[in-house]
Amino acid sequence: MKFGETFKEYLHGDQEWFLDKVSHVEYKRLKKVLKSCRRCKALHEGNSTIDQTDGEQQQHPTFSRFCQCQPCSVCDQMFFTELMREATDIAGCFRSRVQHLLHLHVPRGMQRYVLRLRQCFKNDQQALVEEGLMLIEYITMNAIAIRKILKKYDKVHSSANGKNFKSKLRAEHLELLQSPWLIELGALSLNFKGSDDGEAFIQFSGSFSCNLDEMEPVMTLMLPHSIKLEYNLKCAICLEIVFNPYALSCGHLFCKSCACSAASVMIFQGLKASSPDSKCPICREAGVYANAVHMLELDLLIKKRHKDYWKERAIAERAEMVKQSKEYWESQTKYVVGY
């Protein structure tokens, strides 16, 4: 079965009620734009052959306003603008939905007590797991749709603009399968593993695995349509398993203390206090600290799977934070008092 038919079945399948509320790739509409472009190209080439005069190709006025193959102004305007908007909406929708699930699983403040009271009357875990499964398929299907349609674009135009657009998505942090929220969703599924023998729970956690070997700690996600993703859980600064991990906007994972050190801020100040000029230690991209994602589910997974290591790192981080706080306030006192 062709992907276009598979994607259509997905949009109108059992999850139609869910997909009506969220954004998705308009695969059929974008494909029509490319088909129109292909027809214009064929007509243009046929017309150019007929209208050759004095050894020079003269374009027929009827088709001069349509696509010219490389570059194609009509397709570029309709195609890439639409696809960028859809990718942005999908990434935003996926982020907000996953955040909602995480808040239900690891609530904070008063929400913790409200949810505990609610769980006395109703168990929401089954619904949470089912939505997690839907979100995994949602992000996977849309990522495949974007990849397929860009491949078709390059085939129609004999260009590399589709590949260049993928690089642009990566630069704009819109590459769907590299989202830190997908790692959090995988960690959530592994934290549920063994909590229930229900089919949904087994399906949710069965495609994910995590090996916290100190030599090469890695999380593996086996997504629908045989897509395998591996995420290295080793901090590139301390070369240990990430502790209290943060994902920078560029996608790289670091321990909080290591990221704060790289951004030249105190641990108690947090990454939001970093300068906009601070760069990622790996890719050297600037301004990636302000919107860093605190990976709470991943931290909880490491705490469950590697208790002694997590406890040791927690004690060390707390001691370092107290030391930094003491030095900071002593320097502030000297500055105010004058000695």
**Rounded distance between C-alpha atoms, residue 6 and residue 16, angstroms:** 14
Extended strands (E) in 19-91 = none
Residues 139-166: tens digit of each pLDDT:
989 999 999 999 888 888 777 888 888 8
Q: Is pLDDT of 201 > 70? A: no
Residues 6-65: tens digit of each pLDDT:
888 888 887 777 788 888 898 888 888 777 776 555 544 554 444 444 444 444 333 334
Q: Is pLDDT of 208 > 60? A: yes
The structure's pTM equals 0.79
pLDDT score for 65 = 40
Half-sphere exposure of 245 (CA within 13 A, CB side): 30
Burial (CB count within 10 angstroms: exposed 0-12, middle 13-18, buried 19+), residue 121: exposed
* 102 token code pair: 């995480």
pLDDT score for 211 = 86
pLDDT score for 40 = 56
CATH number of the domain located at residue range(s) 234-330 in this protein? 3.30.40.10
Q: Residue 87 — φ and ψ, nearest 5°?
A: -60, -40
Q: Is residue 267 within 8 Å of 317, Cβ to Cβ?
A: yes
Extended strands (E) in the chain = 208-211, 218-223, 227-232, 245-247, 253-255, 293-294
pLDDT score for 41 = 56
Residues 225-251: tens digit of each pLDDT:
778 888 999 999 999 999 999 999 998
Question: Residue ranges per domain, the chain?
Answer: 1-41+72-195, 234-330
Mean pLDDT of the chain: 80
